[in-house]
Amino acid sequence: MKDIDLVIFDWDGTLMDSVGRIVSSMQATAKALNLGVPSDQAVRDIIGLSLMPAFDRLFPALDEGSRAALLAEYRDQYVELDPTPTPLFPGVEAMLARLGASGKTLAVATGKARAGLDRVFAATGLAGHFVTSRTADDAQSKPHPEMLTQILAETGISAERALMIGDSQLDMAMAKAAGVKALGVGFGVHSPEQLLAAGAQGVISDWQQWALA
């Protein structure tokens, strides 16, 4: 990590253990709207995309009215119908504190909407660890590199000194497109083998162990 000044994190499936909730919410949304219910794996494969591209992949050929209804129903399912806070993965808070104390600049690049990221920032108290963030409302969806290029421009840190950490092949592809180093986490959407094949330079198996490395 000595050659890294900027660490950029994905959120869902990387810092927060939210993959299961996303899968169940998307399946409940499809059922409520009488659409074909996607499999667990089909939903896992779109996690990391912004919501509209995700919907287009899971439910192709919907008109604009149906897409708007889908968005509203999903947000109801995810936020309003299940008020239970989604937990962070063990060791996340200590890891972020350690990186910050060592002088690293930290940021978030997520497919969540800005309102969704603000909500989990407030619920977890982690916002103060990050100097900036990009969401689906701020830049093009992963794997397009715009989230990362915007963060690099804002922080003034070169791509060669930056590291992207995420749990999906989309994160790895985004990092590659931006010329940023990439690490995978093996407890989210995609397997370590898939992440390595997508360009990860290594895979983290446990935040508690990595925080002590």
Q: Which helix (H) or strand (E) holds 9?
A: strand 6-9
| Same domain, yes or no: 190 and 103 | yes
| Same domain, yes or no: 13 and 43 | no
Judged by DSSP in three states, 163 sits in: strand
* Burial group, residue 41, by CB count within 10 angstroms (0-12, 13-18, 19+): exposed
Q: Which helix (H) or strand (E) holds 8?
A: strand 6-9
- The domain total for the chain is 2
- The catalytic position among 3, 5, 10, 17 is 10
Measured from the Cβ of residue 149, the count of other Cβ atoms closer than 10 Å reads 18
List the 181-185 sheet strands across, edge first: 132-134, 105-109, 6-9, 162-166, 181-185, 203-204
- pLDDT tens digits along 76-127: 888 776 677 789 999 999 999 999 999 999 999 999 999 989 999 999 999 9
| Rounded distance between C-alpha atoms, residue 76 and residue 25, angstroms | 9
> Which domain, by its residues, includes 112?
6-17+87-210
Q: Which helix (H) or strand (E) holds 109?
A: strand 105-109
| Same domain, yes or no: 115 and 182 | yes
| Same domain, yes or no: 26 and 13 | no
| Same domain, yes or no: 43 and 104 | no
- The catalytic position among 12, 45, 167, 171 is 12
- pLDDT tens digits along 16-64: 998 999 999 999 999 999 999 999 999 999 998 888 899 999 999 888 8
Active site residue 137: no
| Same domain, yes or no: 24 and 69 | yes
| Same domain, yes or no: 57 and 100 | no
User: What pLDDT score does 82 carry?
Assistant: 67
* Burial group, residue 143, by CB count within 10 angstroms (0-12, 13-18, 19+): buried
Average pLDDT over residues 144-155: 99
Active site residue 12: yes
Domain boundary among 32, 62, 80: 80
